[in-house]
Amino acid sequence: MIADRLLRAWRGVERIHDELFVEPLRRAVAREVRREDDVLRALVLLESLGVDNPVAYETLDLVPYLVADLHAWHLRMGQDEFGDAGVCC
């Protein structure tokens, strides 16, 4: 009996906590994911229409980091080697 009341009270506290803290954060993360997806779709559409990527110059700084991550990525994808000789492995 006491355990049931404590369990119900705890579940009530969890529900209030979720409503106050978890749901707003979940909505904010979902909104940010949608925004990033929209930007990616717009960039892909513009590139397919022949419009140059407006952030291509700024993303050149990211190339060394992407090359460093390429090895871990292609191993995770199940490929022992990636690309031509000297590209990765």
Q: Is 74 exposed, middle or buried (0-12, 13-18, 19+ CB in 10 A)?
A: middle
- Sequence spans of domains, the chain: 1-52, 55-89
Q: What is the pLDDT of residues 49-89, one digit of tens each?
A: 888 887 778 878 877 887 778 888 888 888 887 776 666 77
3-state secondary structure of 17: helix
Rounded Cα–Cα distance for residues 32 and 51 (Å):
25
Nearest 5°: CA angle at 86, between 83 and 87?
Answer: 45
Burial 13-52 (b: 16+ CB within 10 A, else e): eeeeeeeeeeeeeeeeeeeeeeeeeeeeeeeeeeeeeeee
Q: What is the pLDDT of residues 14-61, one digit of tens each?
A: 999 999 999 999 999 999 999 999 988 888 888 888 888 877 788 788
